[in-house]
Amino acid sequence: MLGLHYRTPRAWARQVLSDPPQFLLDHYFCELKAAAMARRTLRIHGKRRPGLKPLLNALADEELEHAAQVERLIKEKYPWPKAPKGGNAYAQGLRRLASLEGHGSFLDMLLVCSLIEARSAERFRLLADELRGQALGGFYEDLYASEVNHYTLFVRLGVDFFGEEQALRRLEELRIGEANLIRGLPALPRMHYGCADFETAE
């Protein structure tokens, strides 16, 4: 359903859940960045495409609500974790892939957002399955549904603005690049990084 070309192994969920504060902190930043990306897209492209405004403002609000929920989870249980040094190699890699430095292409911007949402949804699904029956599992289940909707929204916007043929062809190219990127990232307790020993862990 998500069209991703790299399937995250189940072992990934167990790995990231072995360091909850670091993983939650990264998740918190991801939600904030998703909100910022939606607002940035609006700033750059909203004037020429006014239909974006209600959709992306609603999306940004939802991402901020997710961030607030994750923030509460951290504060209830842990001292505030130290942020890891260095940037986010996944986000940097996607930006390079899609030439998003500067304003970049609007289609690529939409499709990169769709890929991030799809990858997040895939991983929330794994976390929900791993924590089935626990409150935290229910939380990830809700996030899964929400990020699937966001993925669909961005693909639909790409198709609406650029036509099905162009949007889906470019999406396929970016999906291949995204799969190669995430497959090669190190295993860290982060939303969009790799997984160690995946050949033997399944």
List residues binding Fe ion (CB under 5 A): 31, 34, 63, 66, 117, 147, 150
Give the residue with the Cβ less far from Fe ion, 137 or 198.
137
* Cα–Cα dist 8/174, whole Å: 17
In the complex, the smallest distance separating the C-beta of residue 66 from Fe ion, rounded to whole angstroms, is 4
In the complex, the smallest distance separating the C-beta of residue 64 from Fe ion, rounded to whole angstroms, is 9
Q: Is the dihedral of CA 64, 156, 152, 192 positive or negative?
A: negative
Give the residue with the Cβ less far from Fe ion, 11 or 42.
42
In the complex, the smallest distance separating the C-beta of residue 119 from Fe ion, rounded to whole angstroms, is 10
Give the residue with the Cβ less far from Fe ion, 11 or 182.
182
Contacts of 155 (CB under 8 A, 6+ apart): 110, 111, 114, 167, 171
In the complex, the smallest distance separating the C-beta of residue 34 from Fe ion, rounded to whole angstroms, is 5
Give the residue with the Cβ less far from Fe ion, 108 or 117.
117
